[in-house]
Amino acid sequence: MPVTPIFEKKNVLVTGGAGFIGSHLCERLVKEAKVICVDSFINSNERNIDHLLQLPDFEFIRWNINDPFSLDQFPELAKFKVQFQGVQEIYHLACPTSAKNFDQFKMDTLLTNSTGVRNVLDLAVKHKAKLVHASSSVIYGPRKGEKVSMHEDDVGTVAHLTPRGCYDEGKRFAETMVDTYRQVHELDGKMARIFRTYGPRQRLFDGEMISDFITDALDGKPLVIYGDESFTTSLTYVSDIVDGLVKLMKAPAGLGPVNLGTDGDVKIVDVAKKIIELTGSSSEIVFEPPLVFITPLGLPDIRRAKDSLGWLPLVRLEDGLKKAIDYAQAHKTLLGVT
């Protein structure tokens, strides 16, 4: 199978392409490539890709990557000549990340981080495709004392026998799989450790605090913080993450994992106050016990991304919040915001 496209445009596969980050990535890639979006809708939404479905260079395949698959089995991909050209790039983003409904998707999460990753890696080897695997900042474990900034060479500590072990340890194992395939099959496989991300199309009413803040503020409801006033985090706008993923795909092989995130801390309560201000809302802020899936994480050391990719986050928090608010206001009927 050729490594470079033999037709006018390269074929690119995006797993989890109907998800929050995945849909924005598909939107970016379809401007220059033929995009195959694979998603099972386990906790994503068809609405995220509705505007892409009519584009001639975009094709959606509903499939659970935990089940083996070959691109040749889908007749709708004949228009992309996959039987001759295969795919040149794979962005692997598929993985359940539900905060409130984490228990409901535990087995899906466990299998996606093992069997699903294997199926995608086997596909990359078959087509000799470059691969970018979407890992997570959770592989570093929670913040520990004065150690706040996490470098890619830091060895994280994860409690693997906990209610969220299938995700945290799963993400670590998935990285091991990618690197092992790199060693054994000489796969050009890269890993992006993504830190907390926000923006339009983020899931609603699922514990993702920023999106819920916005919809609740527009509706005059209390803004719920799962923690206390000391809860701080890193927040990066989705377009910056997409830019980082694309730059990582284009980077030379053998780069190693790369942190993608904002290296500044922000208090969640201050973000909630800013959203109330920007929406002109009369909402109050209330505090509830932390969710198992929402814990204080470290900040990214992004020197490798700056030096190797020429990447750094560009969207200011206030500007990103305004964009997310504008999206929620424009789609408030579909989003269930009155």
Q: Which of 140, 167, 181, 237 is catalytic?
A: 167
The fold of 11-198+236-262+298-314 is Rossmann fold (3.40.50)
Do 205 and 272 form a contact (C-beta atoms < 8 A)? no
Tokens read off for 269: 């309560």
pLDDT in the model for residue 337: 42
Digitized pLDDT (tens) for each residue of the chain, 338 residues in all: 445 556 789 999 999 999 999 999 999 999 999 999 999 999 898 999 999 999 999 999 999 999 999 999 999 999 999 999 999 999 999 999 877 777 888 999 999 999 999 999 999 999 999 999 999 999 998 877 666 899 999 987 888 888 889 999 999 999 999 999 999 999 999 999 999 999 999 987 776 789 999 999 999 999 999 889 998 999 999 999 999 999 999 999 999 999 999 999 999 999 999 999 999 999 999 999 887 667 778 899 999 999 999 999 999 999 999 999 999 998 865 554 43
Q: Say what the pLDDT of residue 58 is.
A: 98
Based on the residue annotation, tell me whether 167 is a catalytic residue of this protein.
yes
Query: What are the domain boundaries of the chain?
Result: 11-198+236-262+298-314, 209-231+265-295+321-332
Provide the token pair at 74.
Answer: 């889908």
Domain 209-231+265-295+321-332 has CATH 3.90.25.10: yes
- For residue 64, the model assigns a pLDDT of 97
Confidence (pTM): 0.94
Domains 11-198+236-262+298-314 and 209-231+265-295+321-332 share a fold: no
